[in-house]
């Protein structure tokens, strides 16, 4: 009988496919010019320091942490804008759910303005919108939050560059080497394809992974649209169990 390979928890992570991610230096996105390391990355392989990582109990979250419409309300009013639910599943490259992992998100308000002291765009702040939240994935790897759709906004890169509407995501996984920050875009937005930051990703199929799909089935009637955004973290190679069909 030949060796049987089963998914395992103890294998090393698949190497990160650097051609799928944006290269460090992408001249169209000018901020990379002085911030992209010039040396090649040193390949390390997995040690305990990379294969472990922090986890967080659900009790560390507050009830409104995943409700950006209400979590910064100053006067009891809700944030202004197109109401929507953003949800999705965190998976690994082996298509297995990643439960109990922290997902954080931040965004501009409906007018495209961030609540940040260095932000100078003329669109006004919404006094009831802070722009950040967090969730921990459930046993099946799902997260969800409620927010308003962020506006597009201009930024000083090429003179007249505009960011498409987007939400920033930070995800932990269960290993420090799975740590990921990315941005989510909206299905059908023509602004996506003229953005230098989106364009830092070479492969259109990779960009497609960042585009959330409108999900009519999960809209809340008379309340909120729904967008689905699944996130894939690095997966682990299987450990091999010789001549055993199950267990170890």
- C-alpha 86/C-alpha 148 separation (Å) is 10
For other proteins, give the closer residue by CB, 11 or 154: 11
21 noted as active-site residue: no
153 noted as active-site residue: yes
Give least dist CB 83 to other proteins, A.
Answer: 19
29 noted as active-site residue: no
Query: Is residue 219 within 8 Å of 225, Cβ to Cβ?
Result: yes
Q: Out of 85, 148, 177, 212, which residue is the one contacting other proteins (CB under 8 A)?
A: 177
Residue ranges in 91-120 that form contacts with other proteins under rule CB under 8 A: 91-95, 99-100, 102, 104-106, 114-119
- Radius of gyration of the CA atoms of the chain, in A: 20
For other proteins, give the closer residue by CB, 53 or 219: 53
For other proteins, give the closer residue by CB, 25 or 219: 25
Q: Please say whether the dihedral angle defined by the alpha carbons of residues 231, 237, 239 and 243, taken in this order, is positive or negative.
A: positive
Q: Out of 10, 27, 56, 244, which residue is the one contacting other proteins (CB under 8 A)?
A: 56
168 noted as active-site residue: yes
**By CB under 8 A, is residue 63 in contact with other proteins?**
no
Query: Is residue 201 within 8 Å of 21, Cβ to Cβ?
Result: yes
Question: Which is the catalytic residue, given 83, 113, 146, 163?
Answer: 163
Q: Which of the stretches 1-9, 76-84, 142-150, 214-222 binds other proteins when contact is defined by CB under 8 A?
A: 1-9
Number of residues that bind other proteins (CB under 8 A): 102
H-run or E-run covering 226: strand 225-228
Query: Is residue 98 within 8 Å of 92, Cβ to Cβ?
Result: yes
Residue ranges in 188-227 that form contacts with other proteins under rule CB under 8 A: 197-198, 200-201, 205-207, 209-210
- Residue identified by tokens 């992992």 is 101
Question: Which is the catalytic residue, given 21, 115, 168, 237?
Answer: 168
- C-alpha 191/C-alpha 187 separation (Å) is 10
**By CB under 8 A, is residue 133 in contact with other proteins?**
yes
b/e sequence 155-167, b meaning 16+ C-beta within 10 Å:
bebeeebebbbbb
- C-alpha 236/C-alpha 48 separation (Å) is 14
Question: Angle 71-72-74 (CA atoms, 0-180°, nearest 5)?
Answer: 125
Give least dist CB 222 to other proteins, A.
Answer: 27
**By CB under 8 A, is residue 228 in contact with other proteins?**
no
Question: Which is the catalytic residue, given 166, 174, 234, 236?
Answer: 166
H-run or E-run covering 99: none
114 noted as active-site residue: yes
Give least dist CB 84 to other proteins, A.
Answer: 18
Q: Which of the stretches 76-84, 144-152, 178-186, 212-220 binds other proteins when contact is defined by CB under 8 A?
A: 178-186
Query: Is residue 83 within 8 Å of 222, Cβ to Cβ?
Result: no
Instruction: Catalogue the active-site residues.
Output: 114, 153, 163, 166, 168
């Amino acid at each position: 009988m030949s060796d049987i390979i089963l998914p395992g928890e103890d294998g090393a992570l698949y190497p990160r496919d650097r051609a799928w991610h944006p290269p460090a230096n992408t001249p169209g996105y000018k901020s990379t010019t002085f911030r992209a390391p010039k040396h090649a990355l040193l390949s390390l392989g997995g040690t305990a320091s990379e294969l472990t990582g922090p986890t967080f109990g659900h009790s560390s979250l507050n009830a409104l942490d995943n409700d950006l419409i209400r979590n910064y309300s100053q006067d009891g009013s809700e944030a202004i804008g197109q109401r929507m639910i953003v949800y999705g599943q965190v998976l690994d490259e082996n298509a297995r759910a990643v439960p109990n992992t922290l997902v954080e998100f931040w965004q501009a308000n409906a007018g495209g303005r961030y609540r940040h002291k260095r932000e100078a765009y003329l669109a006004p702040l919404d006094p009831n919108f802070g722009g950040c939240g967090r969730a921990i994935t459930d046993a099946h790897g799902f997260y969800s939050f409620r927010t308003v759709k962020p506006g597009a906004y201009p930024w000083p890169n090429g003179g007249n560059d505009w960011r498409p509407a987007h939400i920033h995501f930070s995800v932990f996984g269960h290993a420090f080497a799975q740590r990921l920050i990315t941005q989510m875009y909206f299905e059908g937005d023509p602004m996506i394809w003229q953005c230098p930051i989106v364009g830092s990703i070479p492969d259109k199929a990779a960009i497609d992974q960042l585009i959330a799909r409108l999900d009519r089935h999960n809209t809340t009637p008379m309340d909120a649209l729904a967008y689905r955004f699944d996130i894939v973290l690095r997966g682990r190679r299987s450990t091999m169990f010789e001549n055993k069909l199950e267990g170890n």
